[in-house]
Amino acid sequence: MSANLSESLEPPRVGATLQSLRQAQGLSLDELSRRAGVSKSMLSQIERNQANPTVAVVWRLANALRVELSELLSGATKPAAPAIETVASHATPSLASPDGLCVLRILGPIDLAGQFEWYELTVQPGGALESAAHEPGSREHLSVLGGEMEVSAGAISQALKVGETARYAVDGPHAIRNRGSEPATALLVVLHP
């Protein structure tokens, strides 16, 4: 009976789980050390089950890996993501301008928002997607797939035909317009610094 009691009092071994999560995210020991504020040597010892981390260290590691504390302590890892993730057309979120003349389908994953975003943009004749300034250093890349569009950034405007791409700074007011008589479609990529 005492053997069972001592086994249940043994601290959880987080080494294999820590290593698995770190490698799944493509992090080196140095990178995880920097993110978590835990020394590289301590991380190495934890992964080899040569050291038992304090709750505070496990909490910092869970935060750095963006996982629940319980996931790291339980030793259970989430199933691996599928090799190909598919999002059905009806499940792709979209935003429409108040007048309904512009529709942005959000193609990028939500976890990249604010860093790297991409959209399918459809602008009806006479429609305009007008935007306020983004943070300094932000850029947009607009590739016209159908119809014609006009991009304005600051005081400069440029007409675009099918197959053309415009790359421009968006740290000031900017707009994308359809001055033609047919709907226009494009891919819009936004890069944030």
Condensed to tens digits (0 to 9), the pLDDT of residues 117-162 reads: 999 999 999 999 999 999 999 999 999 999 999 999 989 999 999 9
Q: How many domains does the chain have?
A: 2
Tokens read off for 87: 């999002």
- Which residue type occupies 159? A
pLDDT tens digit sequence for 17-70: 888 888 888 888 888 888 889 888 888 888 888 887 887 888 888 888 888 877
Residue 12 banded pLDDT, cuts 50, 70, 90: low
Q: In CATH, what number is assigned to the domain containing residue 145? A: 2.60.120.10
CB neighbour list of residue 5: distance below 8 Å, 6 or more residues apart: none
Residue 115's pLDDT is what?
84
- Tell whether 70 and 106 lie within a shared domain: no
Beta bridge partner(s), residue 153: 156, 174
CATH code: domain of residue 10: 1.10.260.40
Q: How many Å apart are CA 161 and CA 150, to the nearest integer?
A: 9
End-to-end CA distance of the chain: 60
Q: Average the pLDDT over 172-183 and give the result.
A: 96
Is residue 80 included in any domain, yes or no? no
70-110 pLDDT tens trace: 787 776 555 556 678 888 888 888 999 999 999 999 998 87
- Residue 132 is assigned to a structural domain of this protein: yes
Whether residue 64 is found in the same domain as residue 111: no
How many CB atoms lie under 10 A from the CB of residue 84?
A: 5
**Residue 164 domain flag:** yes
In a domain, 84, yes or no: no
- Distances 14 to 55, 104, 121 between C-alpha atoms, Å: 11, 43, 46
- The partner residues of 189 in beta bridges, in order of sequence, read 118, 141
For residues 104 and 49, membership in a common domain is answered with no
Q: Which pLDDT belongs to residue 80?
A: 58
Q: Which two tokens mark 112?
A: 């990249």
Domain co-membership, 137 together with 182 = yes
Classify residue 172: in a domain, yes or no: yes
Dist. CA 108–CA 120, nearest whole Å: 10
Asked whether residue 5 carries a pLDDT value surpassing 50, the answer given is: no
Residue 105 sits in the same domain as residue 65: no
- Tell me what pLDDT residue 9 has: 55
Residues 174 and 96 in one domain: yes
Same domain, 173 and 128: yes
- Domain span holding position 114: 89-191
Note whether 97 and 43 are same-domain residues: no
In the chain, the amino acid numbered 186 is: A
137: Cβ contacts below 8 Å, ≥ 6 apart? 171, 192, 193
